[in-house]
A and B are shown apart, each in its own frame.
Chain A
Amino acid sequence: MASNPLPADKNTGALQAKEYTTLNLGPTHPATHGIFQNVLKMDGELIVSAEPTIGYIHRAFEKLAERRPFNQITPITDRLNYCSSPINNMGWHMTVEKLAGIEIPKRVQYLRVIIMELARIADHIICNSVIGVDSGAMTGFLYVFQWREFIYEIYEELCGARLTTNIGRIGGLERDFSAKAWEKIHHLLKEFPEGLREFENLLVRNRIFMDRTIQCGPISAERALAYSFTGPNLRAAGVDYDVRVMSPYSSYEDFDFMIPLGTNGDTYDRFMVREREMWESLSIIRQAIEKLDKLDDKTTYHAEVPEFYLPPKDEVYNTMEGLIWHFKIVMGETSIPKGEVYHCVEGGNGELGYYLISDGGRTPYRLHMRRPCFIYYQAYPEMIKGSMLSDAILTMSSMNVIAGELDA
């Protein structure tokens, strides 16, 4: 909160009548990092009230999903939180696998964990460095951004794409990690800690940065839970809820890692929670590599599910059976059981859930995506009320509201 609150009436507590300014923060403002609007009522530099407007890039994903076969929904999930597309992709695959009751081999689960943790690092790099940019420190942003670039190169090696990855398939990965991909992952594990440390040196104990972010846009654990916050934003408020631990998926129960917690739920805590999570993610990747080395299985990269997993091209071109399966999968004519299923993963900025109802047809009967940003953004007016414009901007970037996920 700002140090000088609004003059309030002593008896009623109501704000005294004043002439306020209306300021349109967005839809295209450099600080929104996406397209969403905030109509701020301002008293000089102080925010009296805020009214967020969303829907500028609404693409009706949930409705689109009702017309698409299951494997064609993956590209849609790319465009939710586009800073960590692989987690969205994996979450979706796991949802369908849960519905169809597909058992995934251990090795694939560990490979998925590596990809998801890489994505988490990339996501947190963006969020944290953008907090720096929004507070005026551009340099740290570029120190870590080259590492996000490197993670994108790893994605490129794994799936061919960089931003909208469409990585993996229902039942596994579309290809095994190449030798070059492993080389790059090892390079990242070796060199990235230094870059991250350099970034932390610039900001973590920087007096100006601390003054700017501590007590900036705070939210209490109660309010955060009431809004059903999840992810780093909830953990910054001091609630140790992490989907990876509470309802483990993809063998996260095999890993040993900490859930960093904050106390105040302010921008600094959110920043620090993300910062610590990057270190934990690195440790998880290292553990995953160790576990992969211990496994006897060195080649499996998908489950044996001919209904969902495209047969190898050789079979498609040369066998009748292969061609039929290929055709059926591509056209979305595979049989899927009736039922409803909810599966959630710990996304880059919170619990990303897919609530899927299937009537046994070729497309979902209904798919709801639980997008954490949509929930955070509802708390935004409350969090910035009475603070200054600069705080509002830092709060927004520290909540990691991604327009693609907000509007879906």
Chain B
Amino acid sequence: MEFIIVKFVLVLIVFLVSLGIAAYSTYAERKIAAFLQDRVGPDRAGPFGLLQPIADGVKMFMKEEIIPTNADKGLFILGPSIMMMTACMTGVVIPWGDTLFINGTEYAVQITDVNIGILYIFGVVSIGVYGIMIGGWASNNKYSLMGAIRASSQMISYELAMGLSIIALIMTTGTLSIREIVEQQQGFHWNVFIQPLGFLLFIICAFAECNRTPFDLPECETELVGGYHTEYSSMKLGFYLFAEYINMFISSAIIASLYFGGYNFPFIDQLGLSHNMLTLLGTLIFFGKIFFFIFFFMWVRWTIPRFRYDQLMHLGWRIMIPLALVNILLTAGVVLWKNGQLFN
């Protein structure tokens, strides 16, 4: 019973934190864009415009909900639902922190440590493509359909490169559990130093998976009006936009855990703090890393143009995947050499 309550509370916290961060990512996006573009950004709702996300949310709910006459009603509703659901599901396996001792019992700051955590994330993220495809298809609009086609082909191609770049990481870590991968990076032994190329490939693919510039073809407003969500309005549109920000948050969390030590930080052992304090500090640092990557996502978005469809495919299939394969081979060679099995 206690187990269920603890997990329930954790799920609730992670869910709320994801939503909160996604909401404030929209605010951050606008503020950062404004900062990069010599503007002021939202500053009317509350001090420094801090209530802007709430105002936006209320606006989204109050908007008239339009379902096009010729749209497939069931699928039209299913699309954003899948998108939102998968976005929220990925946060489950991420270790947000080390363990906490409360009344002598040890609680991990993680909902569940699945021993195939990485596979779980990949599985769930792939379902997200259906949200876009179904939404674009059900809208019965050519622009939506084109956006959906672009999105699905882009996400499928880049998932391959992403998976391959992870394989090299798994070779060095020897585990699929994200918690174990994080624990191996104790202190400053971050995987980014072991797998620099893998990290580069992974972060590029993460951009593509989140449909962020330079990979925002599915919804580029200057070509496809609104892309796959052209016909959506009200909170269904809100779900799509929100899911994108949650995805960005989760992607940043995964990058931070897999390559940047998760909740680990240098000189963690020399602070002389109690275990609980270290855990809390680690969680804070983890969020700091996440926020840095969210900022990075936005920074890139407001700096460079987007690719063309064929260039995107070219990059995905002819550059990223071969590089990922080379990375696997190199890693395999080094791992064998370290084990003394090469040249034997």
Q: Which residues on A are within 8 Å of B, measured CB to CB?
A: 2-4, 21, 23, 29-31, 44-45, 132-139, 142-143, 146, 202-203, 206, 208-209, 211-212, 388-391, 393
Contact = CB atoms under 8 A, between A and B. Distances in A.
Contacts of B73: none
B37 interface: yes
Interface string B211-227: 00110110011110100
Given A206-B304, A208-B304, A211-B308, 13 more contacts: A2-B310, A29-B225, A31-B223, A134-B222, A136-B305, A136-B306, A137-B303, A138-B37, A208-B306, A211-B311, A212-B308, A389-B223, A391-B308
Nearest to A397: B222
Interface of B: 33, 36-39, 142-143, 146, 149, 213-214, 216-217, 220-223, 225, 302-311
Nearest to B307: A208
Contacts of B213: 136
Given A45-B146, A137-B304, A391-B308, A142 B39 contact: yes
- Leading 9 A-B pairs by shortest Cβ distance: A136-B306, A135-B305, A142-B37, A137-B305, A136-B305, A134-B222, A31-B222, A390-B308, A139-B302
Nearest to B220: A136
A2 B309 CA distance: 10
A393 B223 contact: yes
Contacts of A203: 305
17 contacts: A23-B142, A31-B222, A31-B223, A133-B222, A134-B222, A134-B223, A135-B305, A135-B306, A136-B214, A137-B303, A137-B304, A142-B39, A143-B37, A208-B306, A212-B305, A390-B217, A393-B223
B214 to A, nearest CB: 6
Contact of B225 (A21, A30, A138, A202): A30
B309 A139 contact: no
Contacts of A132: 305
A209 B305 CA distance: 6
A138 B220 CA distance: 12
Nearest to A390: B308
A209 B216 CA distance: 15
Contact of A202 (B33, B222, B303): B303
Contacts of A44: 149
B142 A21 contact: yes
A29 B222 CA distance: 8
Contact of A393 (B38, B39, B222): B222
Contacts of A138: 33, 37, 302
Contacts of B221: 30
Contact of B223 (A4, A142, A146, A390): A390
B151 to A, nearest CB: 13
B25 to A, nearest CB: 18
Contacts of A45: 146, 309-310
Contacts of B214: 136, 208
Contacts of B305: 132, 135-137, 203, 206, 208-209, 212
A139 B222 contact: no
Contacts of B303: 137, 139, 202
Given A30-B221, A31-B223, A4 B310 contact: yes
A253 to B, nearest CB: 39
A2 B36 CA distance: 33
A14 to B, nearest CB: 23
A46 B304 CA distance: 24
Contacts of A137: 303-305
B192 to A, nearest CB: 24
Contacts of B309: 45, 388, 390
Contacts of B304: 136-137, 206, 208-209
Nearest to A2: B310
Given A21-B142, A135-B305, A138-B302, A143 B38 contact: yes
Contacts of A21: 142
Nearest to B309: A45
A389 B33 CA distance: 27
Contacts of A4: 310
A389 B147 CA distance: 12
A135 B222 CA distance: 8
Nearest to B224: A389
